[in-house]
Structure 1
């Protein structure tokens, strides 16, 4: 793709509800990005089910390349109109970005998206079509680097209604807020947290409706490689290290054996820090030309746990601590869009010690968990085994 799509979403549940009536689904590969935000009628369990069905149906069909007409037709026939309120059971916003950076947006009864470019809110030209009696707004436009699209459920528009504001936070008010408080250097997560935090304040921490913010940012792809574990065949050591050093991007080595292999093949010294930042996380190391050297399984496990917290966190301070796991999580989240995991499958004798915790005997499981979490955060992850 011309751009990597930095994506994030987060929600506030209606006060007193355990489940959110909004649902966000997204899909990302080398050729396209698709995101769907669905808002179920009402709140609680019923709304959650309706929104989930809509989002799942839409994302599945769009991934297969089916046209918007088929998607809307299927959703409408699966979720009929409420006979009492004469309202659709679920509304939605769909955004697709193709490999050339062309964005397509379709909206059905959701608030219009916000198109930001360096604190300027761009006007979007809409066309309206009717599909099975439903009016669908559509638009197509080109994204440029660092352009940001923000799309929301109506809980954002209603923020503060009956409390701080008489009529809620109107679309124009949100537009002015985003224009004044965001800039092109912010990540999608920062923009999402900023807007959602403002909504939470307007609701006085008691949201009167399910409130969801999702943000897309077009960024230049940034690559990284993470090497962990010695190859089964020691003759492949040089091949692996050459592959690492040829990557234009962040170079990460996890594990003592992997670190020794890299240092030996590069004929450079492996230095170990003796500063204990966290007693549960081993110290980091240093090799000239490598951006980060850490211990293996323990550090990867801790880093994976930190990455898992990102989606539902409004404060990412835990990524800025100085221990090896925080450094690893921060680098993978903030400095990389495409990540190649180079995994050696030779058995580390230390991991087979029966006195060690069970999780230490399953390096591949831990690395697979890392891959799944990174993928859930929208990263493009490739794995090579040696």
Structure 2
């Protein structure tokens, strides 16, 4: 099964500054993952410029197969020199993962990456070498399921300096905190939030330095397949349903006509999902006004109405970056959004039959559902989901 890197990051800007001197660049694809954290010299605008250039250059060059030597030479030649310190300097840490397993870590003057494996702090086989007059640390290793990796800028190490801690929070204490959070079962988003809150607390809500964390967790990819809308040719009904039922992961149907078609092809009973009043829980009663009912079909994880639910789901996604941002409602659109935000690979099978009863469909020459599908694809792609579209 394909492995993915679930990730989350957050930056805390030094008190009194408008711009953060740390920069993060993350690029993902089906077979690759690149995360870069750069810390510019000093703070404010100058540091931001240095770190932004460093992160972008490193991400682009490593992603395109550039060597460490080439990246370092480009940075030396490109970074603007600070007029005060007469230096062109920004630290960086780059983690590259290929095919969900093969990892390559490159660090220059940054805090070491924290690796938690099987709930234990694990050392990496780091090698030091000099490249273009600068000492870097480098490691090649294979990641494993449930590995948690954390990159931090030195603002985290200095948190609480001269206050709650004489010498700051320190790398070892941060690593132990990460270990405790991981043992509590947090995901990448929750880990980032917990570390950020702790850092702010140690700095009395006034960060003494730019502080950035990238949390990453290795897990199996989650797949979702959606069938919405009947095919343009009725002879393709069985084909469309078979594509859904043979897909990996969760299987969803959006559309009353689509659900009836699937029930007919599968020769299974389609039932409206209804909970008797005496069995209803607080969660099951949290349904939005005007929300259409769901249905039950054996072998399918969620069956909803089509156009209205898709439109509501798009609106929900526009206000929810991660699954943790979703309301705790149990209406069809929120449930659909929950499946989509928890997925890494999303395959949409979209029927192109035009509904003769929908005047708008006739005017456009395409189903209204295609408008919402395009919006969904756009929102999901923003969140680094791997989305494929198949029309029938």
Using structure 1 for the length normalisation, give the TM-score: 0.86
CA-CA distance at 1:138 after TM superposition: 0.7
Of residues 374, 378, 383 in structure 1, which corresponds to 2:380? 374
d(CA) in 2 for partners of 1:108 and 1:280? 56
Paired position in structure 2 for 1:331? 339
Find the counterpart in structure 2 of residue 239 from structure 1. Answer: 239
The reply to whether residue 299 of structure 1 matches residue 309 of structure 2 is: yes
Pair 1:180-2:180 in alignment: yes
Structure 1's 193 and 49: CA in aligned 2 closer, same or farther, altered over 3 A? same
Counterpart Cα distance in 1 of 2:184 and 2:221: 16
After TM superposition, give the deviation of residue 100 of structure 1 in Å: 6.3
1:77 is displaced (CA, Å) by 1.7
Tell me, yes or no, if structure 1 residue 201 matches structure 2 residue 201. yes
d(CA) in 2 for partners of 1:80 and 1:97? 30
Change (3 A) 1:25 1:283: farther
Q: Check whether the contact 2:225–2:248 (CA below 8 A) recurs between aligned residues.
A: no
Relative to the length of structure 2, the TM-score reads 0.85
Quote the offset at 1:162 in angstroms: 4.4
The Cα of 1:218 is off from its aligned counterpart by 1.8
Across the two proteins, how many residue pairs are aligned to each other? 379
List gaps (5 residues or longer) in structure 2: 275-284
Report if the CA contact (8 A) 1:146-1:185 is conserved.
no
Secondary structure in structure 2 of the residue aligned to 1:33: strand
Q: Which residue of 2 aligns with 1:277?
A: 287
* TM-superposed deviation, 1:248: 2.9
Question: 1:343 corresponds to which residue?
Answer: 350
Residue 139 of structure 2: aligned partner:
139
Corresponding position of 2:122: 122
Deviation at 1:338, TM superposition (A): 1.8
Aligned CA distance change for structure 1 residues 36 and 282 (closer, same or farther; 3 Å): farther
Cα distance, 1:294 vs. partner?
2.4
Distance in 2 (alpha carbons) for counterparts of 1:255 and 1:72:
54
CA contact (8 A) 2:116 2:179 kept: yes
Residue matched to 1:290: 300
User: Is the contact made by 2:252 and 2:303 (CA closer than 8 Å) also made in structure 1?
Assistant: yes
Give the superposed CA RMSD. 3.0
Structure 2: distance between partners of 1:146 and 1:88: 38
Unaligned runs of 5+ in 1: none
